[in-house]
């Protein structure tokens, strides 16, 4: 059975069977609990379907809470559990209001609810404060100090050569969000696999596994020339890894 609206989006329908299988096998071990905050403001009109798919998939994979923001916060009570449900949400969710990312962060701050990782899916065109007068950066700074020092992951839909607004503002405040960039005019879902792979690299379990592997390689003297894994004394970063393409390297700041 097709989700309502998929008949107008042939590529989505074609992905359903393959994606359904993949959804059961993907594992991203972000620090839990995770909260996914999606952007449904009017400036997201072109990328709203792709961004909703990504927000829903990440929420499903990480067993996260899911909400969307425009002028105010909209909680998704039932996180989509199948690809069909993801597509139904993606094809029915409409843009509305203005862009107040802090609106979806505010409930966590007011409840003093501990979240280890916030994933923000947005075009970073923040133009409105929440109902308490907060912009996202200022509110996250308060959350970080008063509630919990959470990690931030941004999935940013930006025009070419744009550095966005929200991440630079957070960096000026001393934070270092992990960011993945998608073209806002032509969002490409094929980058999703690379994004999930890099998220997996961020886990302590993966870092420990890489350390064991590099120790073994060093012992066997298999590392040579410039093609090497990170040494045991190096921090694991994307810079140490041989990503397949310039696009994949650009998924991570400084790569």
CATH number at residue 128: 3.40.50.410
What is the structure's pLDDT at 176? Answer: 93
Is residue 220 located within the same domain as residue 192? Answer: no
**Is pLDDT at 173 greater than 70 in this prediction?**
yes
Is residue 222 located within the same domain as residue 107? Answer: no
What is the structure's pLDDT at 90? Answer: 83
Is 238:199 a contact under the CB 8 Å cutoff?
A: no
What is the structure's pLDDT at 206? Answer: 46
Q: Look at the chain and report how many structural domains it folds into.
A: 2
Taking the model in full, what pTM does it have?
0.72
Is residue 119 located within the same domain as residue 106? Answer: yes
Domain's final residue, options 162, 177, 201: 201
**Is pLDDT at 180 greater than 50 in this prediction?**
yes
In a domain? residue 113: yes
Is residue 165 located within the same domain as residue 239? Answer: no
Tokens of 239: 């810079």
Domain's final residue, options 201, 231, 246: 201
Is residue 163 located within the same domain as residue 109? Answer: yes
Is residue 69 located within the same domain as residue 169? Answer: yes
19-28, 59-68, 139-148, 213-222: least confident range: 213-222
Domain's final residue, options 158, 175, 201: 201
Is residue 188 located within the same domain as residue 244? Answer: no
Is residue 84 located within the same domain as residue 182? Answer: yes
Mean pLDDT of the region 137-143 = 98
In a domain? residue 47: yes
Is residue 88 located within the same domain as residue 185? Answer: yes
Residue 101 belongs to what domain range?
6-201
Is residue 210 located within the same domain as residue 145? Answer: no
The whole-angstrom distance between residue 172's C-alpha and the CA centroid of its chain comes to 20
In a domain? residue 118: yes
Is residue 14 located within the same domain as residue 114? Answer: yes
**229-241: pLDDT as tens digits:** 444 333 333 333 3
**Is pLDDT at 3 greater than 80 in this prediction?**
no
Is residue 41 located within the same domain as residue 164? Answer: yes
Mean pLDDT of the region 186-202 = 74
DSSP codes joined into one string, the chain: -PPTTGGG-HHHHHHHHHHHHHHHH----PSSSEEEEEE-SGGGTTTHHHHHHHHHHHHHHTT-EEEEESSSEEEESS---SHHHHHHHHHH----S---THHHHHHHHHHT---SEEEEEE--------TTS--HHHHHHHHHHHT---EEEEEEEE-TT---SHHHHHHHTT---EEEEEESSS--GGGHHHHHHHHHHTSHHHHHHHHHHHHHHHHTT--BTTB-PPPTTSPP-GGGS--SSHHHHTTSTT-
Angle, helices 192-201/48-61, rounded to nearest 10 degrees: 40
In a domain? residue 140: yes
Tokens of 238: 């994307």
If one compares 1 and 89, the residue with the highest pLDDT of the two is 89
Tokens of 129: 């404060």
Is 159:124 a contact under the CB 8 Å cutoff?
A: no
Is 34:64 a contact under the CB 8 Å cutoff?
A: yes
In a domain? residue 1: no
**113-130: pLDDT as tens digits:** 999 999 999 999 998 999
* Dihedral-angle region of residue 247 (phi above 0 means left; psi in -120 to 50 means alpha; beta otherwise): alpha
**43-75: pLDDT as tens digits:** 887 778 888 888 888 888 888 999 999 999 999
Is 177:164 a contact under the CB 8 Å cutoff?
A: no
């Amino acid at each position: 059975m097709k989700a309502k609206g998929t008949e107008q989006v042939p590529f989505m329908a074609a992905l359903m069977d393959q994606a359904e299988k993949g959804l059961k096998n993907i594992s991203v071990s972000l620090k839990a609990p995770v909260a996914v905050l999606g952007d449904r403001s009017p400036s997201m009109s072109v990328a709203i379907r792709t961004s909703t798919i990504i927000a829903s998939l990440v929420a499903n994979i990480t067993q996260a809470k899911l909400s969307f923001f425009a002028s105010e916060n909209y909680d998704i009570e039932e996180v989509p559990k199948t690809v069909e449900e993801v597509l139904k949400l993606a094809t029915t969710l409409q843009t509305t209001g203005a862009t107040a990312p802090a609106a979806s962060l505010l409930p966590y701050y007011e409840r003093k609810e501990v979240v280890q990782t916030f994933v923000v899916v947005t075009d970073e065109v923040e133009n409105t404060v929440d109902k308490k007068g907060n912009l996202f950066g200022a509110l996250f700074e308060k959350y970080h100090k008063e509630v919990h020092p959470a990690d931030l992951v941004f999935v940013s839909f930006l025009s070419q050569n744009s550095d966005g607004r929200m991440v630079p503002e957070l960096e000026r405040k001393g934070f270092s969000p992990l960011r993945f960039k998608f073209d806002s005019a032509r969002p490409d879902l094929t980058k999703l696999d690379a994004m999930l792979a890099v998220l997996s690299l961020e886990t302590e379990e993966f870092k420990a596994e890489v350390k064991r592997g590099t120790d073994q390689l060093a012992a066997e003297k298999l590392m040579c020339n410039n093609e090497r894994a990170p040494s045991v004394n190096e921090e694991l970063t994307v810079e140490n890894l041989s990503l397949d393409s310039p696009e994949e390297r650009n998924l991570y700041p400084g790569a």
